[in-house]
Amino acid sequence: MKDSTKQRLLWLLLCIALPLASCSKDDGTAAAAESFNVEIECPSLIEVSEGGEYTFRVTGGDGLLGSDTFIFEAGTGVSYVAAITEVAESSATVSIPTGCGSGDYRLYLKREERRKLIGQTYLSITDGLDFTPDAGTTVYGVVSTQDGPVAGVVVSDGTEVTVTDDQGIYQLSSDKESGYVFLSVPSGYEVPADGVLPQFCKRLKGDASTAERADFTLTQVDGQDEYKVFMLGDMHLANRTGDLQQFVDFTDDLNAYRQRHPGEKMYAITLGDMTWDLYWYSNDYALEDYLRTINSLVDDLQIFHTLGNHDYDYKATSDRDAAQPYTSLIAPPYYSFNIGQVHYVVLDDIDCDNYDGTTSRDYLKRVSTGQLEWLARDLAYVDKDTPLVVILHAQVFYPDETEGFRLDHDAANTQQLLNALDGYRVHFVTGHTHLNFNVTPTDDVTGGRDIHEHNTGAICGSWWWSGHLTPGIHLCPDGTPGGYAVWDVAGKDLQYIYKATGSDEDYQFRSYDLNNVSFSLADVPQMPASVPANVRNKYMQYVDAYPANSDNEVLINVWNWNPSWTITVTDEQGRRLTPEAVWAYDPLHVAALTVKRFNSSSLSSVPNFITERFPHFFKVKAADADTDLTITVCDEFGHEWTEQMERPKAFSTDAYLR
C-alpha cells in the first residue's frame, strides 16, 4: 500500500474516532467538565431538614454561577436537582428538593449541558430540632416515642456511654471508630424491627470531625413483667448435609411452641455461629442468606444476635475486618438491652486479630480490653440487685474429669471480666461446644461469686450430621437432642428448660439398657484394614466402652443436669437403686453418627463431629435383665419427669425415633 493511501486511511480513522472520544463520559461529560474550573468540597454527610437548605464550600477554581445546579443521583439512577439560592465567593447555598430522602448519593455540579462529579455523600433528612450540640459533640440525637421524648435511655458508640436528658436528647464526643451508635433498649420499651432484627443501632455516615444526628424510636409495651426468651445455640447454616430442610424442623417447632403460648411476650437471642465461614465462599451461603432464611420462616419475633467464630470472615487479617460483614448486616459485636427487670449484655469473646487470611482461623477466646471498659460504663447505670444475663459465644468454663470445671478462656482477661461483674447475680449463656452443661455458684471455679453458666446445646446438633446420616435422630455429640433453651422470666426470677426440636418439654432424659448396647469392628465393615492406628484406636474407644455384656446396668443421660437436680431410680419391687455419676459416650449418638462415619472405605483420618465423652450420665445396676425400673428426674424449679422403663429395653436407632 502506498504511503499516501495509508495517510488518507489514518486521517479518516481519526475523523471518526475524535468525535466519539469527545462524547465519552466518566460519571458525567468528563471532557466537557474540564471546561469549567470550580472545586467544591464534598462532605461525607449532609444533614438537612426536608425541603431545607445546605451550604457547600467552594475550595478553588473560578467560582460558581447562580445558574449552576447541584444534582443528587441515587443508586437507583433517580436524580434530584437542587437549585442554588445564594452564591458567595467561597460558598453556595442550595435548596434540597422535596422528595429527596435519606440515603447515599453521587453529587454532581451541572452548568448548562455539562456536569462534573463532585463526590459521594450520604444525605440525612431530619426533622427540625431546636438544639445546638455542645462543642466537641460528634454524635447526637433524640430518643422518643409517638408520645414524646424518653429520658434516661443509655446510648453508646461502643466506647463512650451517656444517657438522654429530659428532652430525650443524647450527646457523644465520639471518634466514630466503631462506625455506629446504639441504645440499650430500656425496660418497658421495644425498638422497631427489620424482619427478626431489632433496630437498636444506627450506622454513622460522617467523618470523625462532623457532628452527626442519629435518632431512635421506641414503642412502650406492656407484659414485660413476665415473658419468655429463647436461647438459640449454634445453627451452622451452610447449604449442606440437608441443613436447610432440617432447619425448617427447628423453626416449625419454635413457631408451634409460640402458638401454644398465645398472648405471652417472647424474645430470642442467638448464641453465635448462625453460619459457617468456610461455606460463605464454597457454597455461596453467607450471613445475607441466613437472614433471608430466618426471615422467611419466623415472623413477629425479635431476635438479638451474638457474633460467633464462624460468623467472622476467615479471609480477613484483623478482628475488625473479619467482623465487618456481621456488623454491617446484623448488629454491633457487643451491646446491652433490658427486658423487664433483667439486664442483658451481649459480648464478643472471639478475638481474631491473629487471622492471616487463611483457613487457619487462629482466634483466642477472650473479651477485649475495649469491651471491658465499655462494660464498666454500661453497668454504671445498672443497680446491683438487677439480674445480669451475659451472652457470649464461647464457653467460659468447661467440665474436667478431675477438677469438676476449669476455666476455658484467657485466664487474665477472664479474671478482669469476672471482676467487672462482681456484686451482681450473673448468668452466662454460651454456645460453641454443641454440648450441654451447667456451672453453678457451688462449683469452685466461680470463686465464690453468684455466677452460673448455661452452655446450651446446638440447634444444628452435630453440625446437622446425625439427622443427615440417620433421619429422625438429631443429636449433639454428648447425646443432647438438637434444640434450644426456653427461659421463663417473672420479675427478677429466672427459670430455664431445654427444649428438644420435635419433642415436648417433658423430654429431659434418655435411658439405655446396657445389656442390649454394644459396638464392635463388625459394625464398620467398610473401614479399610490399612487405616492408621490412631483412627482404629479412636473407634475402639467406643467398642471398649460398650462391649457385649449382661451386667444388668442401665445408663441414663440427663443432658441439662446441674447439682440442684435430683434423680431417683426404683425397681419394680420398690427397692431404691443408687445412681452413680459417670462420664460416658451417648450410645444413640454412637450408633446414629459415629459408626456411620467410621464405616467408610475412604476413611483415612479420625472423622469430625463424632461422639464425645461427657459427665451428665448416671448408671444403676438392676437385679437382673427383666427387672423394670421407675426413673424420676427433678430440676431445681420442681419440674418432674418420669419414665417407666420396661426391661429388656431394645437398642437401635429405630427404637429411639421420636
Q: What is the pLDDT of residues 419-437, one digit of tens each?
A: 999 999 999 999 999 999 9
DSSP bridge pairs for 278:
none
Give the confidence band of 4 by pLDDT, cuts at 50, 70, 90.
very low
Q: What distances in angstroms separate CA 386 from CA 291, 293, 492, one per listed residue?
A: 32, 35, 7
Contact 220, 145 (CB under 8 A): yes
Location of C-alpha cell 429388656: 648
Which residues, other chains included, contact 351 with Cβ-Cβ below 8 Å and sequence gap of 6+?
319, 363, 364, 365, 366, 368
Cell reading at 531: 487405616
3-state helix, strand, coil in the chain (%, to 5): 20, 35, 45
**pLDDT at position 28, please?**
39
**213 Cβ contact partners less than 8 Å away, ≥ 6 residues apart:** 47, 124, 126, 129, 139, 140, 141
Name residue, grid cell 422467611. Answer: 296
Residue 632 to residue 577: CA distance in whole angstroms: 12
Domain ranges of the chain: 30-126, 139-217, 222-500, 510-656
416: left (phi over 0), alpha (psi -120 to 50) or beta: alpha
Q: Which candidate, 256, 183, 260, 177, places its Cα nearest to that of 214?
A: 183
Helix (H), strand (E) at residue 556: strand 553-557
pLDDT value at position 35?
Answer: 57
Q: What beta strand segments (E) does 502-552 contain?
A: 510-513
Q: What dotted CATH number matches 30-126? A: 2.60.40.10
Provide, rounded to the nearest whole percent, the portion of the chain with pLDDT above 90.
80
pLDDT beyond 50 at 9: no
To which H or E segment does residue 252 belong?
Answer: helix 243-259
What are residue 268's DSSP bridge partners? 230, 303
- pLDDT at residue 29 greater than cutoff 50: no
**In Å, how far from its chain's centre is CA 402?**
33
For residues 187 and 382, what is the distance between their CA atoms, to the nearest angstrom? Answer: 12
Helix/strand/coil for 407: strand
**Which of 204, 231, 110 lies closest to 489, judged by CA?**
231
User: Quick one: which of 141, 77, 134 has its CA closest to 106?
Assistant: 77
Mean pLDDT, the chain, integer: 92
Q: Angle at the Cα of 440 (from 437 to 442), degrees rounded to 5?
A: 135
- Integer Rg of the chain from CA: 31
3-state secondary structure of 264: coil
CA–CA dist 453, 430 (Å, integer): 7
- pLDDT surpasses 70 at 150: yes
Does domain 222-500 bear CATH number 3.40.50.300?
Answer: no
Contact between 432 and 395 (Cβ < 8 Å)? yes
Domains 30-126 and 222-500 share a fold: no
Nearest to 463 by CA among 278, 640, 193, 269: 278
Distance CA 21, CA 17 (A): 6
141 three-state secondary structure? strand
pLDDT tens, residue by residue, 437-488:
999 999 999 989 999 999 999 999 999 999 999 999 999 999 999 999 999 9
What is the spatial distance between Cα 10 and Cα 50, in angstroms, rounded to a whole number? 56
Q: Which residues have C-beta within 8 Å of that of residue 15, sequence separation ≥ 6?
A: none
| 38 and 70 Cβ atoms separated by less than 8 Å | no
Locate cell 439512577: which residue? Answer: 77
Residues 6+ apart with CB under 8 A from 18: none
Give the CATH class of 139-217: mainly beta
Cell 464398620 found at: 524
Q: Distance (Å, rounded) from C-alpha 589 to C-alpha 501?
A: 16
Q: Where are the alpha helices (DSSP H) in 460-594?
A: 465-469, 533-545, 587-589
For the chain, give me the number of helices (H) and strands (E)?
Answer: 12, 44
**Residue 1, pLDDT above cutoff 60:** no
How confident is the model over 203-255, as pLDDT tens digits? 999 889 889 999 999 999 998 999 999 999 999 999 999 999 999 999 999 99
Residue 25 has pLDDT above 80, yes or no: no
> 314 forms bridges with which residues in the sheet?
none
The whole-number average pLDDT for the span 489-513 is 98
Q: Name the residue type at position 318.
A: S
Q: In 3D, which of 460, 454, 458 has the Cα closest to residue 487? A: 454
Return the ∠ at Cα 23 (arms to 20 and 27), rounded to 5°: 135
Under 8 Å CB-to-CB from 132, ≥6 apart: which residues? none
**Helix, strand or coil, per DSSP, at residue 161:** strand
Per-residue cell: 535: 483412627
pLDDT in tens, 298-326: 999 999 999 999 999 999 999 999 999 99
Q: What is the pTM of this model?
A: 0.88
